[in-house]
C-alpha cells in the first residue's frame, strides 16, 4: 500500500475528539496508579522520611524535564505514537520499531495488568475473599469493550473516572493533613541509619520514576487532539505539575502516619491486599474509613487501566499504518482502533497470569525509562536527521540533557540492584530488532 494512502487512516487536523482538559485528564490518569501507594513502603526500609520526600521531589523535577522534552518533540513531530514515532524520526526506524514493540508487550499491557490487579485486590479487601487475577481479568475485559464502542464514549468514561480519581486523592490528602500526624516523623529506617544512602536512594528513584511514568500520555494520541501543536505540550506539562504536587502531598501523609515496620505490608502485597493508603485510613477513621479508601484506590486503578486502553492502541495503529503490524490494527478516523485495543487487553491478561506483580513492576520501569531517555537523546539529532525541521529550543535541550543523564544514572544503578533487568532488556532488544529486519523488507517505501 502506498504511503499516501496510509495517511488516509490518520485523523484529519482539527477533527480530533480530545481538547486540553481531556488531555490533562489523560496524563493525570496515566500517571497516578499503584506506584504512589506502594513505593514509600519499600523506600522506608532504607531511607528516612526526609530522603523519601527528597526522592519524590527529584522525581517530580525529572518528570517535568521529561515532559518539557516531549513537549518540544510533539511540536516538531505532531503525530501519534509517542516513542515509536519520535525515535523513528529522530534516531532510526529500527529504534522506533523496538520502542513500539516494547510499548505493546510491556509499556502498556504490563502496567494495565498491575493496575487491574490492584483494583480487584482492593475491592476484594472490602467485599470479601476473591481471586484478584480473576477480578482483574474481568476489569480488563469490560473496559476493553467500552473503549471499543466509540470515541466519545471512551472520552466520557475516561473524563468521569479521572474526576473521581482527583477527588479521591484530594480527599486522602485532606484526611491526612486535617486528622493525621502533623509533626515531622522521627522514625528510623529498618537499616538503623538516617544518613544518606546513595545506592538505595538511586534504586528508589527508579521506582519513583515508574510512579511518575505517564506524563507523556498525550504524545501517544497527538492526532486525536483538535489542536495538537498547542494542546499536547500543555497537557503534558500541566498534568505532570499537578501530579508532582499531589505525589508530594500523598507521600507526606504516608511517611507522617506510618512506620517502616507497618509499611512492610507492601512486601506481602499479593497476599495482604492492603496498601499504605488503606493503613492510614484505618488508623484515622477506623475500619469503615479504610474500606472507603480501599474502594477509592480501586477506582484510581480503574482510571489507570482505562487511560492505558485509550492511549496504548494508538501506538500499534501507527505501526500498522507504517506497515510494521497487520493492517487490521490501523483503525480509521472517527472510529476506535478496535483490533489494537483488543490485542492490548489480551496481552495484559496473559501477563497477569504468567508473572508476579513485583516482577512486572521492576522490569516495566526499566523499559519505560530507557526509551524515554532515547527520545531525549534524539532531540539533539533533529538537525542531522531532519534538516527540514526547526532546531529545538535551548530550554528543551537543557531539559533533555538533564532527563537523559539522570535516566542513564538510574538505569546503571538498577542494573546493579536488579539482576533480572539486563537480561529482560537484552531479550526484548534481540527479539525486537530481529522482527524489524524481517518486517522492514515487506514495508513499502
The answer to whether residue 122 scores a pLDDT higher than 90 is no
Q: What's the CA dihedral at 145, 150, 151, 153 to 10 degrees?
A: -70
326-370 tens-digit pLDDT? 888 987 877 889 999 999 999 999 988 876 665 666 667 778 888
* Other CB atoms within 10 A of residue 388 CB: 5
Question: From residue 329, how far is each of 56, 198, 349 by CA, in Å?
Answer: 38, 45, 19
What is residue 31's DSSP assignment? H
Q: Using CA atoms, how far apart are residues 361 and 365, in angstroms rounded to an integer?
A: 6
The answer to whether residue 187 scores a pLDDT higher than 90 is yes
Angle value at C-alpha 157, between 176 and 11, nearest 5 degrees: 125
3-state secondary structure of 90: helix
Domain edges within the chain: 19-442
Question: From residue 8, how far is each of 11, 96, 249, 316, 333 by CA, in Å?
Answer: 8, 22, 46, 16, 8
Write b or e for each residue in 134-145: b if 16 or more Cβ atoms lie within 10 A of its Cβ, otherwise e.
Answer: ebbbebbbebbe
Q: Which of 5, 369, 382 is nearest to 216 (CA)?
A: 369
Name the grid cell of 432.
525486537
Which residues, 6 or more positions from 44, have their beta carbon under 8 angstroms from its beta carbon? 52, 187, 189, 190, 255, 258, 259, 260, 263
Quick one: pLDDT at residue 348?
A: 92
| Structural contact between residues 221 and 235, judged by C-beta atoms closer than 8 angstroms | no
19-442 maps to CATH 1.20.1740.10: yes
As a whole number, mean pLDDT of residues 170-187 equals 91
404-437 tens-digit pLDDT? 999 998 888 777 777 777 787 788 788 888 888 8
Q: 221 or 121, which is more confident?
A: 221
Task: Give one DSSP letter per residue of 225-241, joined into a string.
Answer: BSSHHHHHHHHHHHHHH
Quick one: pLDDT at residue 7?
A: 45
3-state secondary structure of 18: strand
Quick one: pLDDT at residue 213?
A: 84
Q: How confident is the model at residue 293 (pLDDT cuts 50, 70, 90)?
A: confident
Quick one: pLDDT at residue 243?
A: 96
Q: Using CA atoms, how far apart are residues 241 and 233, in angstroms rounded to an integer?
A: 12
Quick one: pLDDT at residue 14?
A: 52
Q: Which of 113, 68, 169, 138 is nearest to 351 (CA)?
A: 113
Quick one: pLDDT at residue 195?
A: 85
13-39 tens-digit pLDDT? 556 778 999 999 999 988 987 678 888
The answer to whether residue 181 scores a pLDDT higher than 80 is yes
Q: For the CA atoms of the chain, what is the radius of gyration?
A: 21
251-287 tens-digit pLDDT? 999 999 999 999 888 887 667 667 788 889 888 888 7
| Structural contact between residues 407 and 415, judged by C-beta atoms closer than 8 angstroms | no
The answer to whether residue 4 scores a pLDDT higher than 60 is no
75-86 tens-digit pLDDT? 999 999 999 999
The residue behind cell 476484594 is: 124
As a whole number, mean pLDDT of residues 289-308 equals 87
Quick one: pLDDT at residue 399?
A: 97
Amino acid at each position: 500500500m502506498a504511503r499516501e494512502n496510509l495517511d488516509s487512516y490518520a485523523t484529519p487536523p482539527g477533527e480530533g475528539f480530545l481538547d486540553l482538559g481531556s488531555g490533562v485528564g489523560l496524563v493525570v490518569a496515566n500517571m497516578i496508579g499503584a506506584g504512589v501507594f506502594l513505593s514509600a513502603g519499600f523506600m522506608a526500609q532504607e531511607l528516612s522520611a526526609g530522603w523519601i520526600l527528597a526522592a519524590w521531589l527529584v522525581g517530580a523535577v525529572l518528570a517535568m524535564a521529561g515532559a518539557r522534552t516531549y513537549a518540544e518533540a510533539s511540536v516538531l513531530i505532531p503525530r501519534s505514537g509517542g516513542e515509536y514515532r519520535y525515535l523513528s524520526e529522530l534516531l532510526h526506524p529500527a529504534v522506533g520499531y523496538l520502542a513500539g514493540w516494547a510499548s505493546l508487550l510491556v509499556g502498556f499491557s504490563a502496567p494495565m495488568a498491575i493496575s487491574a490487579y490492584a483494583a480487584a485486590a482492593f475491592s476484594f479487601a472490602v467485599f470479601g475473599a476473591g481471586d484478584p487475577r480473576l477480578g482483574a481479568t474481568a476489569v480488563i475485559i469490560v473496559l476493553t469493550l467500552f473503549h471499543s464502542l466509540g470515541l466519545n464514549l471512551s472520552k466520557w468514561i475516561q473524563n468521569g473516572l479521572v474526576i473521581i480519581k482527583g477527588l479521591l486523592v484530594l480527599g486522602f490528602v485532606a484526611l491526612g493533613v486535617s486528622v493525621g500526624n502533623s509533626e515531622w516523623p522521627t522514625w528510623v529506617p529498618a537499616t538503623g541509619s538516617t544518613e544518606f544512602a546513595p545506592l538505595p536512594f538511586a534504586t528508589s528513584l527508579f521506582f519513583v520514576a515508574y510512579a511518575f511514568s505517564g506524563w507523556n500520555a498525550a504524545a501517544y494520541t497527538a492526532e486525536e487532539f483538535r489542536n495538537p501543536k498547542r494542546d499536547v505540550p500543555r497537557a503534558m506539562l500541566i498534568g505532570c505539575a499537578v501530579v508532582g504536587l499531589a505525589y508530594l502531598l500523598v507521600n507526606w501523609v504516608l511517611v507522617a502516619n506510618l512506620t517502616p515496620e507497618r509499611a512492610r505490608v507492601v512486601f506481602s502485597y499479593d497476599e495482604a491486599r492492603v496498601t499504605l493508603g488503606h493503613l492510614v485510613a484505618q488508623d484515622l477513621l477506623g475500619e469503615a474509613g479504610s474500606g472507603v479508601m480501599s474502594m477509592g484506590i480501586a477506582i484510581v486503578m480503574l482510571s489507570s487501566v482505562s487511560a492505558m486502553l485509550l492511549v496504548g492502541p494508538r501506538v500499534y495503529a501507527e505501526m500498522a499504518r507504517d506497515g510494521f503490524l497487520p493492517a487490521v490494527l490501523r483503525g480509521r478516523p472517527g472510529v476506535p482502533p478496535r483490533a489494537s485495543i483488543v490485542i492490548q487487553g489480551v496481552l495484559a491478561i496473559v501477563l497477569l497470569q504468567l508473572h508476579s506483580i513485583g516482577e512486572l513492576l521492576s522490569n516495566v520501569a526499566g523499559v519505560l525509562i530507557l526509551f524515554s531517555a532515547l527520545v531525549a537523546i534524539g532531540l539533539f539529532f533533529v538537525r542531522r536527521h531532519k534538516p527540514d525541521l526547526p532546531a529545538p529550543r535551548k530550554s528543551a535541550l537543557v531539559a533533555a540533557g538533564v532527563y537523559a543523564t539522570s535516566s542513564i544514572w538510574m538505569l546503571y544503578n538498577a542494573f546493579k540492584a536488579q539482576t533480572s533487568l539486563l537480561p529482560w532488556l537484552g531479550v526484548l532488544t534481540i527479539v525486537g530488532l530481529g522482527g524489524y529486519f524481517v518486517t522492514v523488507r515487506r514495508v513499502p517505501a
